[in-house]
Amino acid sequence: MASILLTGCAGFIGSHLAERLLHDGHRVIGLDNFDPFYDRILKERNLAACQTHPRFSFHEIDLRHGTDALVDALPADPVDVVVHLAAKAGVGPSVREPAAYLENNVLGTAHLLEWMRGRDIGKLFFASSSSVYGNTREQPFREDLPLLSSCISPYAASKLSGEQLTATYHHLYGFNVLNARFFTVYGPRQRPDLAIHKFVRLLRAGEAIPVFGDGSTARDYTFVLDTVDGIARGVDYLLTHEGVYETLNLGNEQPVALLELVAAVGRAVYVEPRLEFRPMQPGDVDVTYADISRARQLLGYAPQTSLADGLTAFVDWLDASEQNLL
Ligand SMILES: NC(=O)c1ccc[n+]([C@@H]2O[C@H](COP(=O)([O-])OP(=O)(O)OC[C@H]3O[C@@H](n4cnc5c(N)ncnc54)[C@H](O)[C@@H]3O)[C@@H](O)[C@H]2O)c1
């Protein structure tokens, strides 16, 4: 049994991961500040299944408050691996509030790394994003593509800065690091700001779906439990290896065009979509498309879930959650 500190534990991916790590026999120390980006009640609900577990503890902490705040608020219990998912997520809002994103995602990460150094914890799984590839033309995206001038949103810049910080701590202090670039994660508990969640709500309300651009933009949608499986494998890898510094894509290797996605969501809720074309939004990339061979080779990562099955799981969860059954 290992002890895992999980930041962003109350969020969409974090809460699924907490359940998986507990299932794998680990102890989970969860940390989250209930960032108001979306409703706290949803995040508390995300945590419900873990809260009664004997190997789970939770601490409401804001990473922006500094290393000393972490020292004061976190127990002195041993931690084997830190999984750092806490971040302000979302491209659009980062264009409107760049400083808030950098403060949260870069400074917050710096405080966490310093806390780890002070506690002599040298194993880190860092959640990065496909957005760091920007509009890189070479597809599928490989991890070794040069990215110094690729970012087209402050969110992407904050994630690439995070990767650079973890590289710095690997160099200075020998931290073992896996940076994982997630690709449009969807499924039960998905953030309400994300496309699939919004589309289901709009279709059911009889409203038109806003299509930004001509509908040909594409995303490598990855089902949340596939992403979580990749993270859990990453944790095991960190627990059993030393001298690690790797950057991996955790995607699905199957980009889906926006118009295809809208049609698939329509089929999942039995509503014929009505479309409303709008200009592209600033900061949005054209295509994301992961080459996952490195994650496959290193971790045995192999996403399993088809878009149709993943959308059905999402819709079932939304229905149950709206009826307060969860
Ligand atoms: N969902 C995706 O498609 C996707 C894609 C690429 C990368 N990511 C990354 O994966 C991670 C998890 O994303 P998610 O979709 O679950 O988002 P989420 O917003 O549901 O979860 C993030 C959690 O971090 C917490 N948090 C934010 N700032 C914090 C702070 N300063 N201190 C403590 N906690 C803080 C939030 O309250 C939230 O619960 C993020 O780092 C995100 O950037 C997500």
pLDDT band at 325 (very low <50, low <70, confident <90, very high): low
Compute the distance between CA of residue 106 and CA of residue 45 in angstroms, rounded to an integer: 28
Mean pLDDT of 145-151: 95
User: Ligand 1 in contact with 87 (CB < 6 A)?
Assistant: yes
> Which residue's C-alpha comes closest to atom 23 of ligand 1?
8
Pocket probe for ligand 1: among 182, 196, 250, 285, the residue whose CB has the most ligand atoms within 8 Å is: 182
Inform me whether the pLDDT recorded for 197 exceeds 70: yes
Kindly give the pairing relationship between strand 27-32 and strand 3-7: parallel
Radius of gyration of the chain (CA): 19
The pLDDT of residue 234: 98
The pLDDT of residue 322: 84
pLDDT band at 223 (very low <50, low <70, confident <90, very high): very high
Q: Tell me: the pLDDT tens digits for 112-131? A: 999 999 999 999 999 999 99
Collapsing DSSP states into helix, strand and coil, what is residue 145?
coil
Closest ligand 1 atom number to CA of residue 224: 1
Compute the distance between CA of residue 10 and CA of residue 116 in angstroms, rounded to an integer: 21
Mean pLDDT of 293-320: 97
Instruction: Respond yes or no: is residue 173 known to be catalytic.
Output: no
Catalytic residue selected from 38, 101, 133, 155: 155
Q: Tell me: the pLDDT tens digits for 240-258? A: 999 999 999 999 999 999 9
pLDDT band at 224 (very low <50, low <70, confident <90, very high): very high
The pLDDT of residue 323: 83
pLDDT band at 299 (very low <50, low <70, confident <90, very high): very high
Q: Find the helix or strand (DSSP H, E) in which 214 lies.
A: none
Measured between alpha carbons, how far is residue 147 from residues 9, 88, 101, 142, 176 in Å?
Answer: 29, 21, 19, 11, 22
pTM assigned to the model: 0.97
User: Ligand 1 in contact with 9 (CB < 6 A)?
Assistant: no
Compute the distance between CA of residue 230 and CA of residue 307 in angstroms, rounded to an integer: 18
Q: Which CATH architecture best describes the domain 3-183+223-250+290-303?
A: 3-Layer(aba) Sandwich (3.40)
User: Ligand 1 in contact with 8 (CB < 6 A)?
Assistant: yes
User: Ligand 1 in contact with 12 (CB < 6 A)?
Assistant: yes
Measured between alpha carbons, how far is residue 274 from residues 98, 208, 237 in Å?
Answer: 33, 5, 46
The pLDDT of residue 74: 95
Contact between 196 and 261 under an 8 Å Cβ cutoff? The reply is yes
Q: Tell me: the pLDDT tens digits for 74-90? A: 999 999 999 999 999 99
Compute the distance between CA of residue 157 and CA of residue 160 in angstroms, rounded to an integer: 5
Compute the distance between CA of residue 207 and CA of residue 275 in angstroms, rounded to an integer: 9
Measured between alpha carbons, how far is residue 113 from residues 106, 203, 232, 290 in Å?
Answer: 11, 43, 21, 28
The pLDDT of residue 95: 97
Compute the distance between CA of residue 116 and CA of residue 31 in angstroms, rounded to an integer: 14
The pLDDT of residue 285: 93
